[in-house]
Structure 1
Amino acid sequence: MPRHAAPAVTAADSAPGIVRLALELRASWELGAALAAMAFLRGAPNGDGHPVLVFPGLGAGDLTTVVMRRFLCERGYSAHAWQQGLNVGPRPGVLEACVARVRQLRAEHGRRVSLVGWSLGGVYAREIAKMLPGDIRVVVMLGAPFSGSPKATNAWRVYQLVSGEKEIDAARFAALKVTPGVPTTSIFSRTDGVVAWQCSVERETAQSENIEVHASHIGMGLNPTALYAIADRLAQPEGQWRRFDREAHTGIKKLLFRDPQRATWLNTVFGLY
């Protein structure tokens, strides 16, 4: 199989099991790891100053993306919060406000805007890129549930509670699977305990790809491996997008981006792969 081919997957119809859900407890470790790894992460590719809009996950707000945005600012980007309070789903006016925010940043900087979305925030980023392809430079999603069954997530009940939606319109959900017409990267983890990993696998095209990392769902936006991958994707010169090359890294970076297909004893024992 080609190195960059999408993993062979079938549609996910159920949420991650109890083992993966229990592994979400490592999220606090990922925050500590991110802080401890900041010196190393300073070796991540530098940015060119273009604006990046960061979207939080379900039930979360801008406070949860502070570490990511601070990291991106240190790498040379102009990182911005979404400024829409808690993400409780597509309530009236939110999508319009996000579109206006993108246009504002495009006008202020005179450059295309990159979008980074965590979980449900990745769905927002994906859809906004479809609405404003001429204003978007790159889309990066982390554990975003844009495929499979809308109920293939352990956050489904939470979504119903905070959004007020009892069911998701089938046609609207099907439209989410359409890949944006701009360079798009989906970062996912097979050990995601909230969203079935199959729901986060992008259909690969000349402008879309998948990067697999070892991370929890709750801690993905704090995970050093994911942060490095985000920086790598955003650092590409505009108009010269190329796929992420895991094999190009050496030394400690090789360990950081170890082959996720190589099962460890823990993966085997708990059936994570």
Structure 2
Amino acid sequence: MQNLQHWGEKLAAFGSDISRRNALALQPHPEQAHKPPLRRMLGELGSPAEVWGEMLRRRRAGQAYARAAIPRPVMLLPGFGTRPSRMHHMARSLENAGHRVSDWGLGFNLGPTEERFDLLLSRIEAMARKEREPLALVGWSLGGIFAREAARHAPASICKVITMGTPFSGHRRANNAWRAYQWVTGHEVENAPVASDLAPKPPVPTIAIWSPRDGVVHPRSACGRAGERDRAIPVRCNHLSFASHPGVIVEVLRQLDVDE
């Protein structure tokens, strides 16, 4: 009887949690939060073809990635709902160029918690000690939020931050992903347990790579304003292409070679 009561309480709590998450996901989109139009969002479905087409074009043209002028230890941080393997092509390309690449060590990026953020900071600091030099962090979308926030807490262990399609500027809901984010994490985007104010620039060189064709994050949110990053670099790709698009990899390699 006690077991039945125990399981009944667990089911009731589970149902309550699902209802709460559904309510978070069904909140109305604020009129002042401009998001990419539906046609761009639907355009994200063509991301695999976009990447493969650009890879084929470069192969036929005999174009190779440049060797690193300044080989660095680099950590790649995946986007929301993705795991490090989604950045495998970028990792391999940076390694072939001469950089020493690692992933963030936290598996799927299912949003921030204080525990996960502390684990990330510990990993960054440990790797910086092992490498005997600070790391460059390259973060895709939500991974870039983690990277910017890590640089605020551990600037001595981080030499620069490169974000790709990261929504750090303007309204927190200026994107097409906030509802999914709120359902998965169980909290509103404005009440994240780690970062309270995303816009101020971290105390390290910070480069924002953004795309006017982004169908998930509004370009202005990923580009940022003067004072919120050091440089903003436009590329032409879909949001879901950032992690493997050759044009983005070329730009990441170029920015890693900048001796700030």
Shorter-normalised TM range: 0.7 to 0.9
Residue 90 of structure 2, aligned match among 52, 68, 75: 68
Q: Structure 1 residues 65 and 206 mapped into 2: Cα distance closer, same or farther (>3 Å)?
A: closer
Gaps of 5+ in 1: 1-10, 242-273
Residue 238 of structure 2, aligned match among 194, 213, 216: 216
The 3-state SS of whatever aligns with 2:139 is strand
Question: Bigger shift: 38-47 or 13-22?
Answer: 38-47
- 2:169 is equivalent to residue 147 of structure 1: yes
What residue identity is the alignment partner of 1:29? A
What residue identity is the alignment partner of 1:217? H
Q: Quote the offset at 1:41 in angstroms.
A: 5.5
Which structure 2 residues correspond to residues 73-92 of structure 1 after superposition, within 5 A?
73-92=95-114
RMSD: 2.3
What residue identity is the alignment partner of 1:220? F
Alignment: residue pair count: 228
TM-score when normalising by structure 1: 0.77
Instruction: Check conservation: 1:12, 1:198, Cα contact below 8 A.
Output: no
- 2:234 is equivalent to residue 197 of structure 1: no
Q: Quote the offset at 1:132 in angstroms.
A: 1.2
Cα distance in 1, alignment partners of residues 193 and 183 from structure 2: 22
The 3-state SS of whatever aligns with 2:175 is coil
Q: Quote the offset at 1:207 in angstroms.
A: 7.0
Q: Structure 1 residues 93 and 206 mapped into 2: Cα distance closer, same or farther (>3 Å)?
A: closer
Corresponding residue for 2:10?
none
Larger radius of gyration: 2
TM-score when normalising by structure 2: 0.81
Cα distance in 1, alignment partners of residues 32 and 51 from structure 2: 28
Instruction: Check conservation: 1:47, 1:231, Cα contact below 8 A.
Output: no
- 2:133 is equivalent to residue 111 of structure 1: yes
Corresponding residue for 2:36?
16
Corresponding residue for 2:46?
26
Cα distance in 2, alignment partners of residues 124 and 40 from structure 1: 36
The 3-state SS of whatever aligns with 2:98 is coil
Gaps of 5+ in 2: 1-30
Q: Quote the offset at 1:83 in angstroms.
A: 1.5
The 3-state SS of whatever aligns with 2:119 is helix
1:31-76 superposed Cα distances (whole Å, 9 cap, x missing partner): 3145433685634251533210100000111111111111110110
Cα distance in 2, alignment partners of residues 128 and 167 from structure 1: 18
Corresponding residue for 2:206?
184
Q: Structure 1 residues 108 and 185 mapped into 2: Cα distance closer, same or farther (>3 Å)?
A: same
